[in-house]
Structure 1
Amino acid sequence: MTSSSSVQQAREALGKRLREIRKDSGLTARELASRAGWHESKCSRIENGRTVPSDDDLRAYTLHCGAADQTDDLIATARNIDGAYVEWRRMERSGLRRAQESVIPLWERTRHFRAYSSWLIPGPLQTRAYIEALLRSIRDRRALPDDLEEAVQVRVDKQRILYEGPRRFAVLLEESALRHRIGGPAAMAGQLGHLLSLATLPNVSLGVIPLSADRTALWPVEDFWIFDDAQVNVELVSAFLTITQPHEVGMYAQTFSELADSAVYGAPARALITSAIDSLR
């Protein structure tokens, strides 16, 4: 979990809150540890953000510090921290379908989507053939249980959000994402053609950053999604990262804005997509 500064800051914020509760009670860390039956260093590890407390740890804190009214809120806070950095092997241990379903509530409540990708076409804009090729590769590479058909269908069904409600989508692609061949030439040609079609939707803004763009000020970064101004999701090699710290969400929003300045839109973007299609022949 230490690979995310957002997660670490959330740990430290929780630890600071617990330290304040303990000090308000008049207990020292040693006294609290003694009453709870802990090693005397445990309070320090928790209060300095080195350890995420368990539910029982938090119940002990609030019991001995006379703050039982805060127990439920503290437990919910700690559980959210634990869910901020989730390894793929944990999320996908029963197959790919669960991972696809896990983001549906977030997608349904979001009204403004911003996505940046340097290597793949983002999920809502993918064709079934493209999705199937991607998920088959993930299934095989990670040796997952085979629920490919169900997972593909979940992802296809999620694409209804493009057409439902007052939702807006701003998508930025590096030109390289148009050139990476996923699923073979025919599947890729179909995907790029579908992209041209979706770019005409009134609620979709599609920008492409040309390979020829000057990247001195801002080079390609990790792929990410911004959901309203509340949350950022990043897919790492080993895990799925959720960022909710406001200042970090703001950093991604600023990065998205700067990347958008390097992109082309409309006819120039369509020309880059058409060029990628032509290269498949």
Structure 2
Amino acid sequence: MTSPSSSVQEARRALGQRLAEIRRTAGLTKRALAQSLGWHESKASRFESGARSPSERDLRDWCSACGAEGEAEDLVSTARGIEGMYIEWRKMERYGLKWAQESVVPLWERTERFRIYSPWLIPGPVQTASYITALLTSIRERRGLIDDVPAAVKVRVEKQEVVYGNHTFAILLEESVLRYRIGGTDVMAGQLGYLLSAMALPSVSIGIIPQDADRSGLWPVEGFFLYDDELVNVELISAHLTVVQKHELAMYAETFSELAELAVYGPAARELITAAIESLG
């Protein structure tokens, strides 16, 4: 996998290349363009190299100076997308956990094929309300957020309706996920029991990667959600990362396929889940 910020930086470089192409098409040097806008030449250079992100006004001024006003709105839209690729949790959750949960509903609704890999937690589409409550309560306390956990839990549970719609879910879990005690024994027992029930849904495939699987070729990686072939979301300690570069999406898709080959399904997966339930005592 690439570093957390590589997708953002590559997108910035791609935007810079487009700005350079527009400038060259207009027959302008960087110095001439900068002088026409009252900038230092280094400012134009940083935009083109991706070292600095242009503001919306910068983009519109650039296009105007190059006689390419028709390109401006597309560039502004691209820049807004880049800024949304790496969002710190404190910004995403500034209005509370309920708002953060609601912000991804449109993406869930339009996605037809979900591919989810989790090395740490049972993922959202197959979580119980009690498990969600335990997770969000911990997040609220650690990040010092407003207490809207019940409302946020309600939104996340309602989001799970997509499991019963025209969507498919391929979920891969490390076996260790079954053993991490989130919310205590009773909560985990209920969550694991629900996981067994979810395996029976026609839209859901759940694979478990056994702890004794040979990981010489591919060890556990960061958890991720792959939405169709459109984008990947990765939850970091500090931020929410969105990956949209095609070659990176292909890497995540390939990694998911390789992880899927390590997993067990059906009766073998049920046996691992049942063993985890029994270990709760």
Q: Distance in 2 between matches of 1:3 and 1:173?
A: 21
User: What displacement does 1:108 show?
Assistant: 0.4
Q: Which amino acid aligns with 1:243?
A: V
Q: Distance in 2 between matches of 1:33 and 1:144?
A: 44
Q: Distance in 1 between matches of 2:188 and 2:280?
A: 8
Number of equivalenced pairs: 279
Q: Which amino acid aligns with 1:40?
A: E
Pair 1:274-2:274 in alignment: yes
CA displacement, residues 119-171 of structure 1 (integer Å, 9 cap, x when unaligned): 10000100000000000000000001111111111001000000012x11100
CA displacement, residues 193-243 of structure 1 (integer Å, 9 cap, x when unaligned): 000000011111110000010100000000001111111110011000111
Q: Does the CA contact (< 8 Å) of 2:22 and 2:68 recur in 1? A: yes
Correspondence list, 1:7-18, <5 A: 7-18=8-19
Q: Distance in 2 between matches of 1:146 and 1:27?
A: 55
User: What displacement does 1:115 show?
Assistant: 0.2
User: What displacement does 1:254 show?
Assistant: 0.3
SS at 1:254 equivalent: helix
Structure 1 stretches lacking a partner, 5+ long:
none
Question: 1:158 corresponds to which residue?
Answer: 159
Q: Distance in 2 between matches of 1:175 and 1:247?
A: 29
Q: Which amino acid aligns with 2:98?
A: R
Q: Does the CA contact (< 8 Å) of 2:109 and 2:162 recur in 1? A: yes
Once superposed, which parts of structure 1, at least 4 consecutive aligned residues long, lie more than 2 Å away?
Answer: none
Question: 1:190 corresponds to which residue?
Answer: 190
Question: 2:84 corresponds to which residue?
Answer: 83
Q: Which amino acid aligns with 2:29?
A: T
Question: 2:235 corresponds to which residue?
Answer: 235
User: What displacement does 1:39 show?
Assistant: 2.1
Q: Distance in 2 between matches of 1:3 and 1:234?
A: 9
Pair 1:253-2:223 in alignment: no
Identity, in percent, stands at 62
Q: Distance in 1 between matches of 2:204 and 2:146?
A: 35
What RMSD, in angstroms, separates the aligned Cα atoms of the two structures? 0.8
CA displacement, residues 54-75 of structure 1 (integer Å, 9 cap, x when unaligned): 1000011001000001110000
Q: Does the CA contact (< 8 Å) of 2:4 and 2:241 recur in 1? A: no
User: What displacement does 1:3 show?
Assistant: 3.6
